[in-house]
Amino acid sequence: MQIVENSKIKEKLFIEKLSNGINVMILPKKTRKKYIVWSANFGSIDNKFYAPGEDVLTTVPDGIAHYLEHKMFEQENRKNSLDVLTSLGVEANAYTTNDHTAFLFECTENFDEALDEFMNYMQNPYFTDDNVEKERGIIEQEIMMYDDYPEWSIYMNAMRCMYKANEMNIDVAGSKESISKIDKEQLYKVYDAFYRPDNMIIVLCGNFEPKEALEKIKQKMTLEPYEEETRRVYNKEPDEINQKYIEKEMNISMPSVIIGYKDNDLKSDKVKKDIAIDILGTLLFGKSSDFFKNLYECGKIFSEPIINYEFSKTYAHVLIQLQTNYVEDVLNIANSQIENLKQNGINDEDFQIAKKKVYGNIVKDYNDVSTIATGIVSDYFKGINSFDYFEEFNSLNKEYVEKILKETFVEDRKVISVIKPISDKKD
């Protein structure tokens, strides 16, 4: 087993690629908890592909990765694995993102019994017309629930503004209309195309002895290696944004705003850039920034804006999210805040403090077994190594952060998504 050690955070990661091509990573922790997540590199953006051995392009309905996630728990013996796992006292769950689908459970007892069930359902899907049909109503309700979440609407609208063709503009769960077309044949097809060893990773975190845990996984692994590849096809996205501004009315109390910057540079060092943008977020909009101080004191904002750099292999963007009753004002001030920092450069003391804050946040990410394991999974599919955050952190200087500011926060790649309270209609 390969061992990667990080002396700062005092953690060790054990890595092994099994003979069928699946990667297993284990991070032991001093706790009674055991956490395992098994993830396939298949998400809502993967809707066109050449299946292994086929030369005809397959296009699948939006939301199929999420539908498949729901249906993975069905077993041939008519049992639902989620029920079986719950009966064992383990907390089982699953989730779908734009680029991966993950299945997991967490426990303090009965790990071995639960692992049997877990590895069995992951490797033996069982779809029937009936069980696929039954799920449609449940997922429709899930989609409707998201429709009422302002934070989800504003996010999807920002994606639609930013991307003309990129699959990021597709809702993870699809729509009521798109999921109506999903059937069992399609589910088997995407399972075969994407739930293959070389396209998956298993991460364990918690109370494990790495060798022993790895042995257990090996014993229960039945998936054969694949000879031929699944080739994904993505739409070609132009450099420019799709539209500058979008707004929607919803039943909420205060307008919500997302300022987004589309980042077309998918090549450069992502980890370093992610840290730099975190630092910039703190300097520009953090709780000790002029922006926050001034707007808070005059009652124009109340809570700290949230800054995120989201990226994967096919997209990258910065999102700044805040709530205010003074949308136009706050947008203008945000703009001048960015332009001022570009012109005046970063103050040394501010830079050091922002760096300390960002360091603290990276350390905090290593507290909880689920944060650690799911973090390793999503980093892995982005093509980065989680421990790199500590390495890059040291070498990061002010000049680099200033360069990222100028390159990334660019006016003509900016989009604005706004959700407003419903305006009073007079009868």
Partner 1 sequence: MNKVSFEIKQGIKAHCIKTDSYKTDITCVIITTPLKRETVTKNALIPFMLRRGSNNFPSLYLINREMENMYGASFNCGIDKMGDNVVLKFYIESISNEYALNNENILRRNLESLLDIVFNPIQKNGLLNEEFLQTEKDNLRKVIESKIDDKDLYSFDACIAAMYGDDKFGLYKYGYVEDIEKIDIKNISEYYNFLIQNSKIDIFISGNIDEKEAKDFLNENENIKKLKPRTENYILNNEFTESKQIVENIKEVSEKMDVTQGKLVIGLDISSNIDNLQATGLVYNAILGDGANSMMFQNVREKASLAYSAKSTFVKQKMNVFIRCGIQIENYQKAVDLIKVQLDNIKNGKFEEDDIQNAKTYLISGIRNIEEEQDTEVVYYIGQEISKTNMSPDEYIEKIEKVSKEDIVNLANSVSINTIYFLRN
Q: Which residues bind partner 1 (CB under 8 A)?
A: 8-9, 30-33, 80, 82-83, 85-92, 107-109, 134-139, 141-142, 144-145, 147-148, 150, 250-254, 282, 286-288, 292-293, 296-299, 302, 353-354, 356-361, 363-364, 366-368, 422
> Minimum distance between the CB of residue 385 and partner 1, rounded to whole angstroms?
19
Residues paired with 74 in a beta bridge? 80
> Minimum distance between the CB of residue 286 and partner 1, rounded to whole angstroms?
7
Minimum CB distance to partner 1 smaller for 102 or for 221: 102
* Rounded Cα gap, residues 157 and 175, in angstroms: 15
Minimum CB distance to partner 1 smaller for 4 or for 362: 362
End-to-end CA distance of the chain: 71
Beta strands in 141-255 (DSSP E): 200-206, 231-232, 245-250
Q: Which helix (H) or strand (E) holds 259?
A: strand 256-262
Minimum CB distance to partner 1 smaller for 66 or for 413: 66
Minimum CB distance to partner 1 smaller for 7 or for 59: 7
* Rounded Cα gap, residues 122 and 71, in angstroms: 11
Q: Which helix (H) or strand (E) holds 11?
A: strand 11-17
> Minimum distance between the CB of residue 218 and partner 1, rounded to whole angstroms?
27
> Minimum distance between the CB of residue 146 and partner 1, rounded to whole angstroms?
9
Largest CA distance in the chain: 71
Residues paired with 89 in a beta bridge? none
Minimum CB distance to partner 1 smaller for 114 or for 162: 114
Minimum CB distance to partner 1 smaller for 54 or for 290: 290
* Neighbouring residues of 77: CB distance < 8 A, sequence distance ≥ 6: none
Minimum CB distance to partner 1 smaller for 54 or for 147: 147
Minimum CB distance to partner 1 smaller for 246 or for 358: 358
Distances (CA, A) of 42 to 46, 64, 88, 93, 157: 6, 10, 28, 17, 23
> Minimum distance between the CB of residue 112 and partner 1, rounded to whole angstroms?
15
> Minimum distance between the CB of residue 352 and partner 1, rounded to whole angstroms?
9
Axis-axis angle for helices 270-285, 388-395 (nearest 10): 60
> Minimum distance between the CB of residue 288 and partner 1, rounded to whole angstroms?
4
Beta strands across the sheet bearing 48-50 = 58-59, 48-50, 231-232
Which two tokens mark 9? Answer: 């955070």
Axis-axis angle for helices 64-71, 129-147 (nearest 10): 120
Tell me the one-letter amino acid at 161: C
> Minimum distance between the CB of residue 141 and partner 1, rounded to whole angstroms?
4
* Neighbouring residues of 189: CB distance < 8 A, sequence distance ≥ 6: 51, 58, 60
Beta strands in 79-206 (DSSP E): 91-96, 101-107, 200-206
Tell me the one-letter amino acid at 26: I
Q: Looking at residue 235, what DSSP letter applies?
A: P
> Minimum distance between the CB of residue 42 and partner 1, rounded to whole angstroms?
22
Minimum CB distance to partner 1 smaller for 343 or for 394: 394
Minimum CB distance to partner 1 smaller for 49 or for 285: 285
> Minimum distance between the CB of residue 281 and partner 1, rounded to whole angstroms?
12
* Rounded Cα gap, residues 72 and 68, in angstroms: 6
